[in-house]
């Protein structure tokens, strides 16, 4: 390509359209002129010749416009290929440059890799849990629909289900109700307890998933009496039936009754690790709907294509209110009710979304710090590069060309950083998975995949601009000729200031992260010291669930549990044994409103405490202290007067001015089937408070009623299920040693019963601390990386300063400066940006720590102790980082340095 | 008849490349040469030459520079590129094959 042609095209790129127009016009005009002249030579008069030439040429405007279009295409193709050529040259040149400075390159790549790796690992978790679509057709249209009462989400009633099915057709193409439940499945001789759901006919159609084998439920199955069928999940089919396709039509024992397998769902239905194992028809009836049912249903629905979520919510609200108005016995105002409609994925991700976003933000901070650090390294290298660049500029390279060259070098660094960073992310992700709290949905699906790669490349592109552009603009923007003459020193003053500013930013970002980590660490320490109100040491828990088929009669249930209580208490390894509906910190809870005797019929219930069904000996087993009165006793039988034990908090809330001993004998109406049938209980004891929801949550008012006096209607709702708790004879004996004897005790009474959720009580404590520990670990790691990078930044600035000012220092020493003077002179360079950074960091921490509030325990987000300690830590570590360069400064030999 | 039209365009391209294979020349010279060589039998309007030239320039078959004619006028001189030479060779081979195939049928032998 000739130089002139190249110059012409460069011009063309500025005046593009005009230039191809001129080019084509001139080309054609020349042709017409030549032809006209030729014709004149042949003897044609001038004017006629011109017309003849035009005629012979044909459609002038069509030819010209077609030619122009082609010329434009030609130019853009050439520009692109020229750009590619230069990019290739730049990349090769960049690689050569980086190889020439291996220390610098390794440092930059490592720093970036830390930033990219941290961000990529958090992003892959965020993607798996929150962003990754569910494996359904139009998954964003599958919603969880929850009735709300005064803004709080609750379960749905049978009446609401039928109302939604009948009258919400304009908003939802399918509505289904389901109840999560445990099942005892028996294949061969061993009963197994699994999780599943009872679902209405349209359940699978809501998800838009077709069965892999056989069929799903139809309206015909979803009827009492014809509901003896079961659909298996893919996982259950593989595990229990080894993927045998002949399983269809076979009968399996579910909760003691035979059910025919009619279908197997594909693996896409197992979208979380603890997804349902099997499904049976819910078989709700319209007759049930007439009796106002309990709020126990989950609704899932598919929103129609043309309907927005908000419209769907409005429609559901209207239907639910009309269902409540239609109830003749209603006690509540329909206007209090409404509906919450949100994509199923939001319901699944829950508050992990905000947690992961916070962590992603923290990863972003690390990335910013890394980018700032690399920018600093690049500026330091600028003094080496300035000379080379000014030579290239003198040889005719334009500013844009040099800028692009420098940015290409940054991009090569970023790309190398991405590769190393992804390897790092792979390791970090495995570490995150290893320490993650249980029950984060889909976290197990987190991978370093194409999405993560894409995200990281995006980060790389962004940070290339960030860390590459500022130094490059500076380097090419200054008077290059002057720097050629000064050998690079002309730029120094401004560069020092810029570097100091960058270090200040780094320190501020690191400070913010460290404050966050510090707040979490303080929370974790405080939680560790929290008294749960019970003693978990040596206590084993095991849930027992009685199938409806054999235990339909509440008398049978009472008899079974009574016998289990007696026999497990007599086991030689057991000191105390008891039964309870739910153990603290297990995530399960029940509650019931209570009414005092003084209350009028129209007064609202003063309190909705937690409710636990318990056997005698529960408080002894858990070492929950009895404050006054007595424990529940074997004499509190089904036909005896109803009694309850309350915790101190409940007594204090109901009767703030009454001494505890006078609470004994008071009566409360609770767990009443209707307003007309009160259920009075006499308080016989008061026990200590227990943190039953979470270690970080304050205790709630709570009451305990004897298992023998449990209202019959309650048993189906808790699936006739209780937890067996037992304490070892000595705290030194591990709780897990009780598993085998307890299992044997259950089997001795009924060989068909499995034990589910067998677990030492300590594990519940550990799980409750798990999430905070996870947050602390992740944010602490990110904070540590940030600290490291910031300190490297401070070190770099001071060290560079010393190397540039050797002569300066020598002069000072020659003039009699003491080592202390020199130290002060050098340290000032590092301390200034450090102090500015810490100041900025305090402001930034105060602004961002609020985001962490929900994760903290008994520490305010603006805790001055944490902020102060973090500032001291940063200052201390940075001062240590300055010692090396400072010592080098003090070793400067004046004579040598000055004569060099 | 699109196939025929395509063939004609291909032929025009090949003829232009052939001209340029003797040396660079401007559009008017190419047109004159075409007219002479075909005894004006190939009745193409002069104008249709230009889209052909610009298309071939876009496709890298020809290159061009502005220069001066003998009479001192500014004109755009087209040159054949290596890629253009290869194309010309391919067209010629293909045409020879076509003639060999068709002529016994049309002309008898």
* Per-residue pLDDT tens digits for A709-718: 998 888 877 7
Cα separation, A797 vs A502, in Å, equals 10
- Tell me whether residues A58 and B31 touch, CB distance under 8 A: no
If one compares A79 and A704, the residue with the highest pLDDT of the two is A704
Mean pLDDT of A425-444: 84
- SS3 assignment, position A614: strand
Q: Quick check: A2 contacting B, CB < 8 Å?
A: yes
Mean predicted confidence (pLDDT) in A615-636: 95
The DSSP string of A680-735 is EEEEEEEE-----S-TTSPP--EEEEEGGG--TTHHHHTTTEEEEEEEESSTTS-G
Whether A401 has a pLDDT exceeding 90, the answer reads no
Q: What residue of B is the nearest CA neighbor of A31?
A: B28
Would you state the pLDDT for residue A534?
95
Contact criterion met (CB < 8 Å) for A70 and B54: yes
In the prediction, which pLDDT does A10 show?
47
Question: Mean pLDDT over all residues of chain A?
Answer: 85
A733: phi then psi, degrees, rounded to nearest 5 = -90, 130
Tally of CB atoms within 10 A around A650: 26
- pLDDT tens for A815-857 read 888 888 888 888 887 788 889 999 999 999 988 888 888 778 8
A8 touches chain B (CB under 8 A): yes
Query: What are the two backbone dihedrals, phi and then psi, of residue A251, each rounded to the nearest 5 degrees?
Result: -100, 135
Chain B contact present for A489, CB below 8 A: no
Distance, in Å, from the CA atom of A451 to the CA atom of A123, rounded to the nearest integer, reads 9
Per-residue model confidence (pLDDT) at position A663: 94
A26 touches chain B (CB under 8 A): yes
Does A50 lie at the interface with B, CB-CB under 8 angstroms? no
Question: Would you place residue A757 in the very low, low, confident or very high pLDDT band (cuts 50, 70, 90)?
Answer: low
Contact A63 B57 (CB under 8 A): no
How many alpha carbons fall within 13 Å on the CB side of residue A236?
27
- Using only C-alpha atoms, chain A has a radius of gyration, in whole angstroms, of 38
Distances (CA, A) of A819 to A52, A809, A810, A822, A885: 97, 11, 12, 5, 13
Asked if the Cβ–Cβ distance from B65 to A5 is below 8 Å, we say yes
Structure tokens at B64: 């061009």
Listed by number, the residues of chain B in 65-94 with a beta carbon closer than 8 Å to a beta carbon of chain A are 65-66, 73-76
Residues 6+ apart with CB under 8 A from A423: A113, A117
Separation in Å, CA of A403 to nearest CA in chain B: 30
Are B45 and A23 an interchain contact pair (Cβ–Cβ within 8 Å)? no
Taking CA atoms, A119 is separated from A114, A127, A353, A428, in Å, by 9, 12, 16, 10
Q: Tell me the chain A residues in contact with residue B27 when contact means C-beta distances shorter than 8 Å.
A: 27-28, 30-31
Rounded to the nearest integer, the mean pLDDT of chain B is 83
User: A800: which 2 tokens?
Assistant: 């560079």
Three-state DSSP class for residue A860: coil
Q: Calculate what percentage of chain A has a pLDDT beyond 90.
A: 37
Chain B positions touching A28 (Cβ under 8 A) are 27, 47, 50
Nearest by CB to residue A34, choosing from B28, B47, B54, is B28
Q: How many residues does chain B have?
A: 109
CA gap A508, A597 in Å, rounded: 61
How far is Cα A493 from Cα A490, in angstroms, rounded to an integer?
A: 8
The torsion region of residue A487 among left (phi > 0), alpha (psi -120 to 50) and beta comes to left
What's the rounded Cα separation, in Å, for the pair A505 and A110? 20
Burial grade of A447 (CB within 10 A; 0-12, 13-18, 19 or more):
middle
Cβ of B48 within 8 Å of Cβ of A8? The answer is no
In sequence order, what are the beta bridge partners of A647?
A687
Nearest CA to A13 out of A82, A66, A70, A67 is that of: A82
Nearest by CB to B47, which of A4, A23, A63?
A63
The residue assigned the tokens 């200052």 is: A875
- Alpha-carbon distance of A545 to A185, in angstroms, equals 12
> Touching check for A23 and chain B: CB below 8 Å?
yes
Look at residue A70 in the predicted model and tell me its pLDDT.
Answer: 93
- Chain centroid to CA B9: how far? 9
> Would you place residue B3 in the very low, low, confident or very high pLDDT band (cuts 50, 70, 90)?
very low
Measure A51 CA to nearest chain B CA, in Å.
Answer: 14
Between A216 and A442, where is the model more confident? A216
Q: Does A70 touch chain B (CB under 8 A)?
A: yes
Q: What is the 3-state secondary structure (H, E, C) of A28-72?
A: HHHHHHHHHHHHHHCCCCHHHHHHHHHHHHCCHHHHHHHHHHHHH
For the record, the structure tokens of A567 come out as 């026999």
Distance from CA of A392 to the nearest CA of B (A): 29
By C-alpha distance, the chain B residue nearest A61 is B47
Q: What is the pLDDT of residues A456-496, one digit of tens each?
A: 999 988 888 888 887 888 777 655 555 555 544 444 555 67
Q: Copy the structure tokens of residue A379.
A: 């500026």
d(C-alpha A328, C-alpha A323), whole Å: 10
What span, in angstroms and rounded, lies between the C-alpha atoms of A440 and A152?
A: 23
Nearest C-alpha in A relative to B51: A67
The reply to whether residue A58 touches residue B46, judged by beta carbons under 8 angstroms, is yes
| Token pair belonging to A512 | 């913010």
Q: How far off is chain B from A31, nearest CA to CA, in Å?
A: 5
DSSP A217-232: --TTTSSTTS--EEEE
Measured between beta carbons, the chain A residues lying within 8 angstroms of B65 are 2, 4-5
Across the interface, whether the CB atoms of A71 and B28 are under 8 A apart is answered no
Number of neighbours of residue A337 by Cβ within 10 angstroms:
19
| Residue A674: DSSP 8-state | B
A107-158 pLDDT tens trace: 889 999 999 999 999 899 889 888 888 888 888 899 999 998 877 787 888 8
Measured CA to CA, the distance from residue A715 to residue A545 in angstroms comes to 11
Question: Does the pLDDT of residue A321 top 60, yes or no?
Answer: yes
Counting one residue from A and one from B, how many pairs have CB atoms under 8 Å apart? 72
CB of A74 within 8 Å of a chain B CB? The answer is yes
Predicted pLDDT at A188:
73
Query: Per DSSP, what are the bridge partners of residue A153?
Result: A148
- Cβ–Cβ below 8 Å for A73 and B58: yes
- Collect all residues of chain B within an 8 Å Cβ-Cβ radius of residue A71: 54, 57-58
- How many angstroms separate the CA of residue A900 from the nearest CA in chain B? 57
- Residues of chain A contacting residue B53, judged by C-beta atoms under 8 Å apart: 67
**Partner-chain residue, chosen from A5, A35, A64, that has the shortest CB–CB distance to B28:** A35
Say yes or no for a CB contact (<8 Å) between A27 and B50: yes
Beta carbons within 10 angstroms of residue A224's beta carbon: 12
Q: Which residue on chain A is closest to B64 by alpha carbon?
A: A5
Q: How far is A41 from chain B (nearest CA, A)?
A: 15
Report how far residue A593's alpha carbon sits from residue A673's, in angstroms, rounded to the nearest whole number. 12
- All residues of chain B having their beta carbon less than 8 Å from the beta carbon of residue A27 are 27, 50, 75-76
Q: What is the CA radius of gyration of chain B?
A: 15
**B29 to chain A: nearest residue by CA?**
A31
For residue A216, give the nearest of A278, A136, A285, A161 by alpha carbon.
A278
Q: How many CB atoms lie within 10 A of CB A548?
A: 13
- Which residue has tokens 């890799």? A113
Question: Which residues of chain A are within 8 Å of residue B31 when distances are taken between CB atoms?
Answer: 31
Dump pLDDT digits (tens) for A655-711.
999 999 999 999 999 887 766 788 999 999 999 999 988 888 889 999 999 999 998
The whole-number pLDDT of residue B109 equals: 55
Chain A residues in contact with B26 by the CB 8 A cut-off are 30-31
Q: What is the pLDDT of residue A331?
A: 64
Residue with the bigger pLDDT between A587 and A665: it is A665
Cβ A519 vs Cβ A856: under 8 Å: yes
Is the CB of residue A30 less than 8 Å away from at least one CB of chain B?
yes
Q: Are A681 and A644 in contact (CB under 8 A)?
A: yes
Closest chain B CA to residue A59? B47
Q: First CA to last CA across chain A, in angstroms?
A: 49
- C-alpha angle with apex B7: B5 to B11, nearest 5 degrees? 115
Q: Phi-psi bin for A271: left (phi > 0), alpha (psi -120 to 50), beta? A: alpha
**Cβ within 8 Å, pair A56-B73:** no
The answer to whether residue A330 scores a pLDDT higher than 80 is: no
The pair of structure tokens assigned to A573 is 């390894």
Tell me phi and psi for residue A529, to 5 degrees. Answer: -90, -5
Cα distance between residue A767 and residue A746, in whole Å: 26
CB contact under 8 A, A31 and B46: yes
- Which positions in chain A touch B50 (Cβ < 8 Å)? 24, 27-28, 31, 63-64, 66-67
Instruction: State the DSSP H helix or E strand holding residue A262, giving kind and residue range, or none if neither.
Output: strand A257-264
Average pLDDT over residues B83-103: 85
Where does residue A281 rank: exposed (0-12), middle (13-18), buried (19+ CB within 10 A)?
buried
**pLDDT at residue A400, rounded to an integer:** 79
Following DSSP, what letter does each residue of A276-326 receive, concatenated?
-SEEEE----HHHHHS---S-BEEEEEE-TT--HHHHHHHHHHHHHHHHHT
């Amino acid at each position: 390509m000739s130089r002139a042609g190249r110059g012409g095209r460069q011009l063309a790129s500025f005046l593009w359209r005009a230039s191809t127009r001129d080019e084509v016009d001139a080309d054609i005009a020349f042709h017409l002129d030549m032809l006209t002249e030729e014709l004149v030579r042949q003897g044609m008069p001038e004017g006629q010749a011109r017309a003849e030439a035009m005629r012979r040429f044909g459609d002038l405007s069509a030819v010209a416009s077609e030619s122009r279009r082609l010329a434009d295409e030609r130019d853009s193709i050439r520009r692109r290929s020229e750009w590619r050529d230069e990019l290739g040259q730049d990349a090769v040149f960049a690689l050569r440059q980086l190889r020439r400075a291996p220390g610098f390159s390794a440092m930059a790549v490592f720093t970036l890799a830390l930033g990219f790796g941290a961000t990529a690992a958090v992003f892959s978790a965020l993607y798996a849990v929150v962003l990754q679509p569910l494996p359904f057709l139009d998954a964003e249209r599958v919603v969880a629909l929850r009735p709300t009462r005064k803004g709080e989400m609750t379960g749905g009633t049978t009446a609401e289900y039928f109302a939604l099915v009948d009258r919400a057709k304009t908003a939802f193409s399918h509505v289904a109700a389901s109840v999560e439940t445990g099942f005892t499945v028996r294949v061969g001789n061993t009963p197994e307890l699994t999780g599943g759901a009872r679902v209405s006919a349209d359940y699978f159609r809501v998800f838009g998933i077709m069965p892999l084998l056989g069929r799903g439920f139809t309206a015909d199955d979803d009827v009492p009496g014809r509901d003896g069928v079961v659909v298996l999940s893919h996982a259950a089919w593989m595990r229990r039936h080894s993927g045998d396709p002949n399983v269809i039509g076979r009968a399996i024992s579910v909760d003691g009754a035979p059910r025919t397998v009619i279908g197997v769902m594909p693996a896409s239905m197992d979208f979380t690790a603890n997804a349902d194992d099997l499904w049976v028809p819910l078989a709700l009836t319209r007759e049930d709907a007439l009796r106002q049912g309990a709020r126990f249903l989950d609704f899932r629905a598919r929103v129609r294509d043309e309907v927005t979520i908000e419209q769907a919510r409005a429609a559901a609200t209207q239907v639910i209110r009309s269902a409540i108005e239609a109830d003749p016995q209603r006690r509540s105002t329909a206007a209090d009710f409404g509906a919450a409609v949100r994509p199923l994925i939001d319901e699944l991700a829950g508050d992990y979304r905000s947690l992961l976003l916070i962590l992603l933000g923290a990863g972003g901070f690390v990335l910013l710090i890394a980018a700032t650090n690399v920018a600093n390294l690049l500026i330091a290298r600028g003094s080496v590069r300035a000379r080379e660049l000014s030579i290239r500029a003198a040889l005719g390279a334009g500013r844009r060309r040099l800028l692009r060259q420098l940015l290409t070098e940054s991009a090569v660094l970023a790309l190398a950083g991405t590769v190393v960073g992804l390897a790092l992310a792979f390791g970090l992700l495995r570490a995150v998975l290893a320490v993650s709290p249980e029950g984060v949905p889909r976290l197990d699906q987190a991978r370093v995949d194409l999405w993560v790669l894409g995200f990281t490349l995006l980060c790389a592109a962004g940070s290339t601009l960030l860390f590459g552009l500022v130094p490059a603009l500076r380097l090419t923007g200054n008077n290059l000729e002057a720097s050629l003459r000064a050998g690079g020193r002309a730029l120094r003053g401004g560069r020092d200031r810029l570097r100091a500013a960058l270090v200040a930013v780094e320190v501020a970002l690191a400070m913010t992260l460290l404050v966050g980590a510090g707040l979490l660490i303080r929370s974790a320490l405080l939680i560790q010291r929290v008294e749960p109100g019970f003693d978990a040491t040596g206590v084993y828990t095991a849930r027992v669930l009685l199938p409806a088929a054999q235990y339909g009669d509440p008398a049978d249930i009472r008899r079974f549990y009574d016998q289990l209580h007696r026999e497990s208490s007599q086991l030689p390894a057991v000191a105390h044994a008891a039964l309870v509906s739910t153990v603290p910190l297990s995530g399960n809870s029940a509650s019931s409103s209570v009414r005092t005797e003084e209350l009028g019929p129209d007064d609202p219930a003063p309190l909705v405490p937690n409710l636990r069904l318990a056997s005698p000996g529960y408080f002894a087993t858990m070492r929950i202290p009895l404050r006054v009165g007595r424990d529940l006793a074997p004499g509190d039988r089904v036909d005896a007067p109803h009694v309850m034990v309350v915790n101190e908090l409940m007594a204090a809330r109901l009767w703030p001015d009454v001494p505890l001993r006078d609470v004994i004998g008071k009566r409360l109406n609770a767990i009443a089937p209707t307003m007309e049938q009160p259920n009075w209980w006499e308080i016989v004891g008061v026990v200590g408070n227990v943190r039953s929801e979470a270690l970080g949550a304050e205790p709630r008012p709570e009451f305990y009623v004897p298992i023998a006096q449990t209202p019959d209607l309650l048993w189906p709702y808790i699936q006739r299920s209780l937890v067996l708790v037992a304490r070892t004879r000595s705290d030194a004996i591990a709780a897990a040693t009780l598993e085998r004897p307890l299992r044997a005790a259950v089997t001795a009474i009924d060989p068909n019963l499995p034990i589910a959720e067998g677990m030492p009580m300590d594990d519940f404590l550990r799980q409750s601390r798990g999430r905070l520990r996870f947050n602390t670990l992740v944010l602490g790691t990110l904070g540590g990386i940030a600290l490291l990078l910031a300190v490297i930044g401070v070190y770099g600035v001071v060290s560079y300063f010393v190397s540039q000012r050797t002569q300066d220092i020598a002069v000072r020493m020659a003039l009699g400066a003491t080592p202390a003077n020199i130290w002060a002179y050098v340290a000032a360079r590092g301390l200034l940006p450090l102090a500015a950074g810490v100041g900025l960091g305090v402001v930034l921490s105060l602004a961002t720590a609020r985001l962490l509030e929900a994760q903290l325990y008994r520490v305010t987000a603006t805790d001055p102790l944490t902020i102060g300690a973090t500032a001291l830590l940063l200052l201390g570590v940075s001062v240590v980082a300055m010692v090396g360069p400072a010592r080098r400064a003090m070793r400067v030999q004046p004579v040598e340095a000055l004569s060099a | 008849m699109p196939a025929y039209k395509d063939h004609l365009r291909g032929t025009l391209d090949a003829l232009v490349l052939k001209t340029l294979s003797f040396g660079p020349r401007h559009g008017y010279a190419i047109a004159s040469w075409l007219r002479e060589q075909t005894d004006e039998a190939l009745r193409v309007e002069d104008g249709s030459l230009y889209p052909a030239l610009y298309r071939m320039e876009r496709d890298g078959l020809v290159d061009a520079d502005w220069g001066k004619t003998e009479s001192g006028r500014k004109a755009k001189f087209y040159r054949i590129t290596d890629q253009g030479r290869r194309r010309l060779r391919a067209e010629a081979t293909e045409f020879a094959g076509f003639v060999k195939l068709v002529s016994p049928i049309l002309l008898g032998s």
